[in-house]
Structure 1
Amino acid sequence: MRNRYLDLLRAAAILRVVVYHLFGWPWLSILLPAMGIMFALAGSLTAASLDKRSAGKVVTSRLRRLLPPLWLLGALAVPFMIYLGWAGQDGGESPWSWKLGLWILPVGDPPGSIAGIDAWEPLWYIRAYLWFVVLSPLMYLAYKKTGWFAVATPLVLLAVLDRTGFSLPFGRADSAMWDFVTYGACWVAGFAHHDGRLFRLRAGIAYPLVAVLGAAALYWLHGHGADTDYDLNELPEAQALWSVAFVILALRWRPDMTWLTYVRPLDRTVTLLNGRAVTIYLWHNIAIAAIWPVLTVLALDDLSGGMEGPIELAMTLLLTGVAVLAFGWAEDLAARRKPRLWPAAPATARATPGGDGGGPGAPATPPATPIQQARPDVAGDIYEDEPTLSIGIGTPEQRRPVEDHDGPLDRYGPVHEPGPELHAEEEPSVTWFSQPEKH
């Protein structure tokens, strides 16, 4: 069964990403470092899969789940960008090069036109996720041999890059390197979540460690954030420290989630956001870009009285919902499930040691064994072959001036924000417009 606490974290991260990209509020990056959470959860799921299956099968399974929704976006976005004059634009990249193949296998950031920025800007996360998945067999082996040293290694590498100014010769490679060291500690911390090492870390060590990491992140943000409105997404050093501190704190917590089954609208929303995380991530920026053209066509663009923000948010949710209906089926096909238009059927809640497991939808389960108690999130919430991109539209790599930036940009500058995350689970096949389970 699913771990609904982790599902709730993903859902919150998805919404945070959408709201951040709509309004650009820097404080959201501190309130919830969505990308760090998503990479940590993905690392946990990947470790669970590697414990049960061969490395080759794990990598291919995750890529199978990741790539088809991207291909669908590319099949629509690339011809549209070409139609709008991509080939004749001043500056930028030509569509007629080998880089167009990055829409098929995004080992680097897929290219796009200036007019189509909302389609390709978020794809840095797909590239970063792909590299984490491909390298996970080696990373997990290193983690099993060195433990917490493997968690700290990306932070050490980040410090080395910052102090030396080292960079790779190609912009795409340099971006990938910075994303790897920024979020690598969170990914490996996910390994520690999977095997219970994170939970077994004594509180007397864990909480002071979180305090030190968080204080270091805020110190860096204070000293370097004035030019970026104190946005963690603009400062990879602060982002890395704050994200891993948040991950250690959040993934040690084991709240009783049986209450969620009583709040049916929220339960269904959490299920929907998790089931369509990739689609929401790939299409929400396009939905945001379409707000005012749609309002203009409807002659509803003359807003006053403080209604602009609420209307923009409502339109973002509405248009993203349309994208879910139109394109979300690609996630089901990628997962080898029967396609569904609106996968909001509530999932069965998993009780954690804080609750009795009762309540609507809670299954009767045998008492946890000592091993399960020591590894609270290993049993029941992780499936070895069905990851699904869970969204945290994340925060980016080191920022560069627009003219020098070879990777994605967005309306606020070269900003990466959380992307989706993959949770792995074989959901039951249901028909179109799934109905809620009866309790």
Structure 2
Amino acid sequence: MRNRYLDLLRAAAIVRVIVYHLFGWPWLSILLPAMGIMFALAGSLTAASLEKRAAGQVVMSRVRRLLPPLWLLGLVAVPVMLAAGWATETDSDHPFSIGRLFFWLLPIADPPGSDRAIDVWEPLWYLRAYLWFVLLSPVLYALYRRIGWGAVAAPLLLMGFLDLTGFSLPETADAALWDFVTYGACWIAGFAHHDGRLARVKPWATVPVAAVMGAVALWWLNGHQGEDPWDLNDVAESQALWSLAFVLLVLRWQPSMAWLARIRPLDGAVTLLNARAVTVYLWHNIAIAAVWPVLTLIALDDLEGDLAIVVDFGVALALTLVAVLCFGWAEDLAARRSPRLWPAGSARRKGDPPTPEPALVPAGDPARGGLRLSGASADGLRAGGALNAAPAPRLAADPGPEAVAAAPAARHAALGEDPGRDLGMPVAGRPAAHHPADNLAAAHRPAGGEVVDQAGRSWPARPAPADSLDGEPDWFRGRRAGVDQPE
């Protein structure tokens, strides 16, 4: 079952990327640090997979999800660039080299391209950075499990070392190193989101820490502005601090998302953007480059003001959707799903239960009574503690910011139920049940299929809720979002 809050965050980040590349408004990087959000979500998803499977399997699964859409882009773009004279460019920043075409197959460095086609290859740094994070994740996750928040701080400390010493690597490696120190803290913060460590930090601690980091980021930005004032993308140090501060706040919060399903156009758009995140990212810049030729063709190139903004965005969106229709099926093949022309639809399959609210931790745990936990594992909750304690009434009221997600596995273990299909990703949790068996302290399940409490009262056993794994959208998704939402 998908966490629609994380789906919404990912969709918002993708739209923000499109708008930023279309209009170049620098303040968007402050309003919504999209890349930090996407790296954090991907880190959370990767942590979910590393808990369940061997590291090699996780890495191969992630790489498999990433590469086919890139190969399809290269299959189209590289011949076009060559036909347009890439091989004859003498002063190009990325001169044609047969050997460097390898990076279109495995982007451990930026895939090259001609100067004329900069809109094709310029955004591909994200795939290169993502690939390196995936390759390093087994080591990073082991480090995180050993030193916790120290692992989150490590990339920032490494950035400080680079600034103080002036240490650098050859150009290609140096770009990868700086992307790592800029977004590494967000990726590892995704680990803390997945296992519930972030949710267990009290708001009175999270908010001040995030506020201090944000203030330092803006202070540093003010003294080191690049070509565009107040553009975080020009100042890696400010980008790193601001993105991490933003991630800590938005992933610490798990609001109710029941409203999303009631707004069907928005719900479908969120589903589409998550299911086609790679395709949208790879092709949106090409669509933007085609906006003005299209407007010239239809004699709308002289619009001004707000109308021009609306028309430009509408055309860019329409052209991106054309690319989704033409090339999005590659993501289905990469995920080993049947190709679909248009994957938007309900986030739930037919017959699935409604999207649940985060479930309350049973109040029998005096330390966490009435709280909701973030992270599918909720490692601080043990069946032998909270679930086997003396029963206490559930709290009906939403406790607020602490509500992030549930720990359904512990309840099923205590009741002897089969937790159902293994999702391979963090989920928002099942709803607080109203079945009498949910509030039993020492319930057991005899062979007759009944739940019996200590007083001898019995009820028919209720089967464990069935979970459904939707077409896991993919690698952008980091999670608890859900793929394995995109593995």
TM bracket (short chain): 0.7 to 0.9
- Alpha-carbon contact 1:108-1:172 (below 8 Å) kept: yes
How far apart are residue 218 of structure 1 and its match? 0.9
Change (3 A) 1:306 1:241: closer
Structure number with higher helix proportion: 1
Is 1:390 the counterpart of 2:391? The answer is no
2:161 aligns to what? Answer: 160
Whether 2:311 is the aligned partner of 1:311: answer yes
Partner Cα separation in structure 1 for residue 110 and residue 376 of structure 2: 33
Q: Separation in 2 of the partners of 1:305 and 1:144?
A: 52
- Cα offsets for 1:150-175 (capped at 9, x unmatched): 00000000111112211102x11110
Is 1:229 aligned to residue 222 of structure 2? no
CA distance in 2, matches of 1:35, 1:278: 13
Specify the structure having the higher radius of gyration (Cα). Answer: 2
Query: 2:383 matched to which residue of 1?
Result: none
* Paired letter, 1:383: G
Residues 325-344 of structure 1 aligned to structure 2 (within 5 Å) = 325-344=325-344
- SS of structure 2 residue aligned to 1:58: helix
Partner Cα separation in structure 2 for residue 214 and residue 382 of structure 1: 35
Structure 2: stretches of 5+ with no match in the other structure: 378-406, 409-421, 426-468
Does 1:361 pair with 2:354?
yes
SS at match of 1:198: coil
Kindly tell me: are residues 302 and 230 of structure 1, through their superposed partners in 2, closer, same or farther at Cα, counting changes over 3 Å? Answer: closer
- Alignment of structure 1 residues 174-189 onto 2, 5 Å: 174-189=174-189
- Structure 1 residues 300, 375: CA separation in 2 closer, same or farther (over 3 Å shift)? closer
Partner of 1:63: 63
Greater relative CO, 1 or 2 (CA 8 Å, sep 6+): 1
Q: What is the one-letter code of the residue matched to 2:284?
A: H
Deviation at 1:310, TM superposition (A): 1.5
Amino acid at match of 1:362: T
Residue 416 of structure 1 is matched in structure 2 by: none
Residue aligning to 1:124: 125
Query: In the alignment, which residue of structure 2 is the partner of 1:242?
Result: 242
Note the C-alpha offset of 1:373.
3.7
Q: Distance in 2 between matches of 1:157 and 1:305?
A: 45
Q: Check if 1:90 corresponds to 2:74.
A: no
Q: Which residue of 2 aligns with 1:374?
A: 373
Alignment of 1:406-425 (within 5 A): 423-425=482-484
Q: Deviations over 1:246-281 (max 9, x none)?
A: 011000001010111111111111101111110000
What's 1:73 paired with?
73
Alpha-carbon deviation of 1:227? 4.2
Query: RMSD over aligned Cα, in angstroms?
Result: 2.7
Q: Does the Cα contact within 8 Å between 1:13 and 1:34 map onto a contact in 2?
A: yes
Task: Show the counterpart of 1:262.
Answer: 262
Cα distance change of structure 1 residues 325 and 387 upon mapping to structure 2, 3 Å threshold: closer
Letter in 1 for 2:483: A
CA distance in 2, matches of 1:426, 1:165: 39
- Conserved? CA contact 1:389–1:423, under 8 Å: no
**1:281-312: CA deviations, max 9, x gaps?**
00000000001112223333343465322111
Question: Aligned residue pairs: how many?
Answer: 390
Distance 2:357 2:303 in 1: 53
Is the 1:43–1:188 contact (alpha carbons within 8 Å) kept by the matching residues of 2? yes
Listed one character per residue, the Cα deviations across residues 38-91 of structure 1 (whole Å, up to 9, x for unaligned) are: 111111110110000000000000000000000000000000000000011131
- Mapping for residues 47-58 of structure 1, pairs under 5 Å: 47-58=47-58
CA–CA distance in structure 1, aligned partners of residues 477 and 25 of structure 2: 18
What TM-score does the superposition give when structure 2 sets the normalisation length? 0.75
- Contact kept in structure 2, 1:41 and 1:187, CA below 8 Å: yes
Whether the 8 Å CA contact 1:225–1:235 is kept in 2: the answer is yes
Instruction: Look up the equivalent residue of 1:265 and give its one-letter code.
Output: P
Contact 2:423 2:484 in 1 (8 A): yes
CA distance in 1, matches of 2:32, 2:281: 17
Q: Quick one: distance in 1 between partners of 2:54 and 2:163? A: 36
Amino acid of the residue matched to residue 476 of structure 2?
Answer: S
In 2 relative to 1, CA 115–230 (structure 1 residues): closer, same or farther, beyond 3 Å?
A: same
Q: TM-score when scaled to structure 1?
A: 0.83
Shift of 1:137: 0.3
Against the structure 1 CA distance between its residues 365 and 236, is the aligned structure 2 distance closer, same or farther, given a 3 Å change threshold?
closer
- Per the alignment, residue 106 of structure 1 pairs with 107
- Aligned-pair distance for 1:387? 6.7
**Aligned residue identity for 1:235:** V
Q: Cα distance, 1:425 vs. partner?
A: 3.9
In structure 1, give the amino acid aligned to 2:229: D
Alpha-carbon deviation of 1:366?
A: 8.3
Instruction: Compare 254-263 and 365-374 and name the one that shifted more.
Output: 365-374
Give the aligned partner of residue 415 of structure 2.
Answer: none
Deviation at 1:200, TM superposition (A): 0.4
